[in-house]
Amino acid sequence: MKTLQEKVSVVMPAYNEAGHIAASVEETIRTFREFGCSWELLVIDDGSSDATYEILCGLQKKYPGELIVKKNPFNLGKGRALKKAFRYTSGDFVVFLDADMDLHPIQVQTLFDILRLDNADIVIGSKLHPNSRVNYPLERKIMSFGYYLLVKLLFGLPCHDTQTGIKLFKSEVLRKVFPRILVKQFAFDLELLVNAHHLGYKIAEAPIVLNPQRKYTRIGSRAVFATTQDTLAVFYRMRILKYYDRIDYYRRKGMAKEFRRMRK
Ligand SMILES: Nc1nc2c(ncn2[C@@H]2O[C@H](COP(=O)(O)OP(=O)(O)OP(=O)(O)O)[C@@H](O)[C@H]2O)c(=O)[nH]1
Ligand SMILES: [Mg+2]
């Protein structure tokens, strides 16, 4: 990373993470200082009802020039939080990193190595990579594999796990893809990756080490149902309505808003 000429923006979405956010921010800052490249950390509080934002404001005073803090007044979900946060980044590369410390930031190095080796535009951490070390319950493993089969069947994406909270993008990719997508709340990662793939960007996968910090996952059966529903909605828009291609056409003509309204 020391030889990296370009700047890296780390974007961390945080929703009710008062228990983890300080450790997460401090560890990320320590790691990137050691990497020695040019970087910034942008944390967006997604309308938390706990003390996440107050803790972040304290940290911002401690790390001026390194930590940027933004806030959504209401909880909008991870996808919309990331889309908003992206507007404030100035890096040539953008890393999405979850705030719960399940995935240590040191792993960003592996993602960059794979980006170079594979000449990729996007590298995503994958729990299903043969070299990953994941310490999470059997039912989550079965869910991950089932979702992989569904995604393979519907989209033929060259990835095994779209859901893991560490991803690296050339910022040009996000600049192109964000305006096209609807940001489906439960299938945001998938919608982003499917559209990037559709536009011809190369996606590679990286092994990860995952150490769950929460005793209980926040993903319940309602979220599984909603994720499947949103995934099918992305399929319908991509393959049947051709919405994503048409929104691009209307955007070029400056009529995207009218088109979105028509399609609602
Ligand atoms: N659940 C949830 N997370 C959000 C939201 N907005 C931002 N986030 C952040 O998105 C990241 C991923 O959320 P998690 O709840 O950890 O989701 P997960 O890793 O799939 O599930 P866990 O097994 O509970 O860790 C975390 O950094 C959250 O703080 C939101 O509206 N809901
Ligand atoms: Mg998590």
Take atom 1 of ligand 1 and give the residue whose Cα is closest.
Answer: 218
pLDDT of residue 251: 85
Cβ contact 48:17 at 8 Å: yes
pLDDT above 80 for 263: no
pLDDT one-digit tens code per residue, 106-142: 999 999 999 999 999 999 999 999 999 998 888 888 9
**pLDDT computed for residue 136 by the predictor:** 84
**Angle of the 256-263 helix axis to the 243-252 helix axis, nearest 10:** 150
Which tokens in the block code for residue 167? 């991803």
Atom of ligand 1 nearest to the CA of 212: 25
**What is the per-residue pLDDT across 28-74, written as a single tens digit (0 to 9) for each?**
999 999 999 999 999 999 999 999 999 999 999 999 999 999 999 99
Task: Please give the torsion angle defined by the CA atoms of residues 14, 126, 111 and 78, in that order, rounded to the nearest 10 degrees.
Answer: -20
Which pLDDT does position 176 carry in this prediction? 96
Given a contact cutoff of 8 angstroms between Cβ atoms, the answer to whether 111 and 120 are in contact is no
Q: Where are the domains of the chain?
A: 7-216
Share of the chain above pLDDT 90, in %: 83
The candidate with the shortest Cα–Cα distance to 94, out of 179, 28, 9, is 9
If you measure from the C-alpha of residue 132 to the centroid of ligand 1, how many angstroms do you get, rounded to a whole number?
21
pLDDT at position 5 over 70: yes
Kindly state the average pLDDT of the residues 10-22: 97
Q: Quick one: average pLDDT of 230-255?
A: 92
Q: Which residue has the higher pLDDT, 79 or 216?
A: 79
Alpha helices in 132-255 (DSSP H): 138-155, 171-177, 188-198, 221-235, 243-252
| pLDDT for 137 | 86
Which pLDDT belongs to residue 261? 79
Give me the pLDDT at residue 264, please. 61
Q: What contacts 64, CB < 8 A, 6 or more positions away? A: none
Q: Structurally, what CATH architecture does the domain formed by 7-216 represent? A: Alpha-Beta Complex (3.90)
Residue 161 CA to ligand 1 center (angstroms) comes to 16
| Residue 102: pLDDT over 90 | yes
- pLDDT band at 258, cuts 50/70/90? confident
Residue to substitute in 43, 83, 100 for testing ligand 1 pocket (most ligand atoms within 8 angstroms of CB): 100
Residue 30 neighbours by CB distance under 10 Å: 11
Q: Is the pLDDT of residue 84 over 90?
A: yes
- Token pair in block for residue 139: 């039912």
- pTM, entire model: 0.95
- Across 245-261, average pLDDT: 85
Nearest alpha carbon to residue 104 among 187, 23, 168: 23
3-class secondary structure, 7? strand
